[in-house]
Chains A and B, each alone.
Chain A
Amino acid sequence: MERKRSKRKERLDRSIKVRTEGLYALSSWQEMLYLIFPRAFLISILLILPLILPLYWKRVLCASGIYALLALGFDFLSEYVGLVCLGGAFFIGCGGYISGLLNHYLHWHPFLCIPIGTIGGAIISTLIFIPSLRLRGIYFAIISFMFPLFAVYIIIALSIFGGTEGISALDIMPNEWFEQYIILGGALVSLFALRRLVNEDIGLILRGIKDNDQAVRASGINITEYKIKAVLIASTIGCFGGACITHLYGWLGISLFAMDFSILPIAATVMGGMGTLVGPVIGAFILTPLSEILRGFGQLRVVIYCLILIAFIVYKPEGLMNYLQRKYHQFERWEEV
């Protein structure tokens, strides 16, 4: 009896990928280029763009950078620690408010306010999330969702920190080149730092917590302590973005806690490829300009992000970056079975 021949897709690593594993990467220019090219490409594009874009788009670039920071934090927390953060806006708000208030009431220079806003915001937001870290990830998701909205209610109700109108006439950044490069630089540094971190011991522990937290506890590790460290890292990145925004526009108000800051990073991450850390950055740089172009449609923007989000999460959960990485590192062929 004739066996039916069916075909099956087979994926193999490209030979150059195998040749570049470990020390052999240094053996020839070709191999080194293979490894360096994607990273160099990314860095150079991000660094060159501010030089070639017109003013309006420079602002968009800054905004993309900030969303990229948030997306990095989200991806790190959700794929490497198992905590889904639905409230990136909380980080932006904390960092922004602290930095702006310091500037407004104490008249400190932005160079001082931004770092203090970053670190202070990180500490405060981490403290708020601590009660939810002893429990499973879904609690963190719920709390992180609620807190930006609560912050808005409280600010409006108690009329503190400027209330509904916010505070304006804050110092803006001295130089437009400065503002762009600090944000883009921050994004790049965070990206590479996080990539390095997840392979260090502490990163391994966090990934272990995501995979199987009971085994980590049985191995003598206090998982709450490490979750706190992870949230601290992600919130530092987010609060930095928030502090930068305040001094970008010279204004702080409840819109710093806007839902936009929570959703767009999630959409960027899902689209860009969860877990890759690079994907979210790329996703942010794609979605933010897109949202600018769609500004005329008002709230339709959010509808579109969400549709993209759902489409990706249901049909192509691997995201763009994973797809591209796969294509870059492996090739496929049909094989007879």
Chain B
Amino acid sequence: MAEIIIYGTVNSVIFALIALGFTLVYGVSRVPNFAHGSIYVLAGFLTWTFVNDLKLNYLISIVLSLIIASVLGLIIYRFVLIRLRGIPTSEIIASFAVGLIILEGLRMQGIAGFKGFIGPFYMLNPFIEGKIKIAGIFIDYQRLIIIGAGILLVGILWLFTHYTKTGLSMRAIAQDEQAAMMLGINSDRMATIVLSIGSALSGLAAVIILPLGNITAEAGYKVLIYALAVCIIGGLGSWAGAILASFVIGFAMKISTALFGAMWESVVLVGTIIVILLFRPSGLLGRQKELEERV
């Protein structure tokens, strides 16, 4: 029982970390960033390269890859998405294509000495090795760090969006874009900023979570799907909803694993999504009723 609680919490926080970046970007700029998963993997890979090939300090590598991730987010917005603002079809396709370029690019082999990204050799080291015993269960420090990081991150985000000018502007745009623009908030600039922050969050999630396992390119798709699933269940654009949904999914999956076996995880996820779409379409805490009934 305690096992379910602890691992369920860890699982939920993982989902929350992954999804927050995506839901932040969508909530503020209405742009679905389908390159979210790719940036996740890219950040992990960059950190690995810095640490192993360039022999840099672990912390510095992390910071560097986060910076590169946010710059990448900025570039994606500035050069590709900005021309497509307002055309959801093209936005989705374009960001998806960028994501694919990154992911499949990382999978290539044998081009210019770049051996590509296949195999179980790519691992990031956990921050602190070792386990600790809580309530009779062994749990690694890394997982505890995940929980801690999650709480810290949510706290920082809350402070940021409630007390800094940029953060408040973001909330303004998320609630009502036209009104915010009338108050002088530059929607494009906000979108650029939020896309970089979202990408940085994705990278942050990567460096915290990836030490649990290895880095593979497939994880990119999985991450994107999980982020999307959390957003649908929690409500696209709702930050509280994303957190709530992460816990719902996280615990649901762990409980189903305990009861039925690990194989049924995906089925549970798909089932939850379908149930939500049928009975509460805009998500658990979705404020976007407009997606159903638009005036």
Contact = CB atoms under 8 A, between A and B. Distances in A.
A146 to B, nearest CB: 5
Given A131-B274, A310-B97, A317 B267 contact: no
B89 interface: yes
Interface stretch (A36-44, A55-63, A153-161): A153-161
Contacts of A214: 294-295
Contacts of B54: none
A311 to B, nearest CB: 10
A303 B108 contact: yes
Name which of A86, A135, A299 has the most chain B CB atoms within 10 A of its CB: A299
Interface stretch (A98-106, A136-144, A198-206, A241-249): A136-144
A142 to B, nearest CB: 5
A135 B277 contact: yes
A137 B105 CA distance: 29
Contacts of B264: 157-158
B277 A314 contact: no
A267 to B, nearest CB: 8
Interface string B233-256: 000100000000000000000000
B232 A142 contact: yes
Nearest to A267: B97
Given A84-B89, A84-B93, A135-B291, A142 B228 contact: yes
**Dominant secondary structure at the A interface:** helix
A298 interface: yes
Contacts of A314: 80, 83-84, 94
Interface string A96-122: 000000000000000000000000000
Given A135-B281, A135-B292, A299-B105, A306 B98 contact: yes
Nearest to B236: A138
Interface string B67-94: 0000000000000100110001110111
B149 to A, nearest CB: 27
A216 interface: no
A89 to B, nearest CB: 12
Contacts of A267: 97
B93 A309 contact: yes
Contact of B278 (A86, A131, A298): A131
A295 B81 CA distance: 30
A192 interface: no
Nearest to B90: A313
B107 interface: yes
B259 interface: no
Contact of B97 (A142, A213, A306): A306
Contact of B101 (A135, A157, A306): A306
15 contacts: A84-B92, A86-B96, A135-B291, A136-B294, A139-B277, A142-B32, A150-B225, A150-B270, A157-B263, A157-B265, A214-B294, A259-B100, A299-B105, A306-B104, A313-B94
What are the 10 tightest A-B residue pairs by CB atom distance, in nearest-first order? A131-B277, A306-B97, A153-B266, A157-B263, A302-B104, A299-B104, A306-B101, A299-B107, A309-B97, A299-B108
Interface of A: 78, 82, 84, 86, 128, 131-132, 134-139, 141-143, 145-147, 149-150, 153-154, 157-159, 213-214, 259, 263, 266-267, 270, 297-300, 302-303, 306-307, 309-310, 313-314, 317
Interface of B: 32, 34, 80, 83-84, 88-90, 92-94, 96-98, 100-101, 104-105, 107-111, 116, 221-222, 224-225, 228-229, 232, 236, 262-267, 269-270, 273-274, 277-278, 281-282, 291-292, 294-295
